[in-house]
Structure 1
């Protein structure tokens, strides 16, 4: 990815990064998380939030601090939609969509993110 594009996307407001995430993931059929003997998590609104990114480079940029030993790992979109999001919903977890080192993330309930992803996927059919 071109460094200027990387910088520009990282600087988008959280709502625009959420929309970028949905479009990019629908296109590439992959979601990225950070993994090191378990998936990276954070706290949001009193719940466990699992961070997700649209590309490995964005996940790697957040692999510092508590996540410094974590590495980007791909999740197939089919698994994300059919296993991850329903499992997170039943566990009371939230999705931290496209966090950045200097700024927040879009925090979404799994059902809401699933709806966004399905709506976007319909555009591709």
Structure 2
């Protein structure tokens, strides 16, 4: 399976983006975030404070424009995501926003739900 290009991904709906994210993150064993001088970049939705996440450096950097142009893409290994980020985000009351792209805001997912999906996909890949 080949990774779709940014133009193709821009046309995905939120469920397709989520499936793409989980598959790519589990395959490459990492999640990408954007950071600035204060740490991880945050997005605010109507109901949640969120950490935006992407499955690739290219997709994260595609978001880093305008007011975010000083941000850097940073990879978080999945084992570190599972061991630190999920619990830390839950403690702080943060959600993840999966694959925000130019044309849409992304899908808001709670850390435990995302963690389970990533572990399930990683297990499927390990059993192949």
Q: If the length of structure 1 is used for normalisation, what is the TM-score?
A: 0.92
Secondary structure in structure 1 of the residue aligned to 2:75: strand
Q: Distance between the aligned counterparts of 1:22 and 1:88, measured in 2? A: 18
RMSD of aligned alpha carbons: 1.5
The 8 Å contact of residues 44 and 94 in structure 1, kept in 2 or not, is answered as no
Q: Distance between the aligned counterparts of 2:119 and 2:75, measured in 1? A: 19
1:68 is matched with which residue? Answer: 69
**Residue 122 of structure 1: CA displacement?**
1.4
The 8 Å contact of residues 42 and 51 in structure 2, kept in 1 or not, is answered as yes
Q: Distance between the aligned counterparts of 2:8 and 2:72, measured in 1? A: 23
**Residue 103 of structure 1: CA displacement?**
0.9
Confirm whether residue 14 of structure 1 aligns to residue 31 of structure 2: no
Confirm whether residue 28 of structure 1 aligns to residue 28 of structure 2: yes
**Residue 29 of structure 1: CA displacement?**
0.6
Alpha-carbon deviations, 1:41-67, whole Å to 9, x = none? 111243210000000010011002331
State how 1:48-87 maps to structure 2 within 5 Å: 48-87=49-88
The 8 Å contact of residues 52 and 98 in structure 1, kept in 2 or not, is answered as yes
Which residues of structure 2 form unaligned runs of 5+?
none
Q: If the length of structure 2 is used for normalisation, what is the TM-score?
A: 0.90
Secondary structure in structure 2 of the residue aligned to 1:15: helix
State how 1:82-97 maps to structure 2 within 5 Å: 82-97=83-98
Secondary structure in structure 2 of the residue aligned to 1:31: strand
Secondary structure in structure 1 of the residue aligned to 2:50: strand
Secondary structure in structure 2 of the residue aligned to 1:103: coil
**Residue 85 of structure 1: CA displacement?**
1.1
Confirm whether residue 122 of structure 1 aligns to residue 104 of structure 2: no
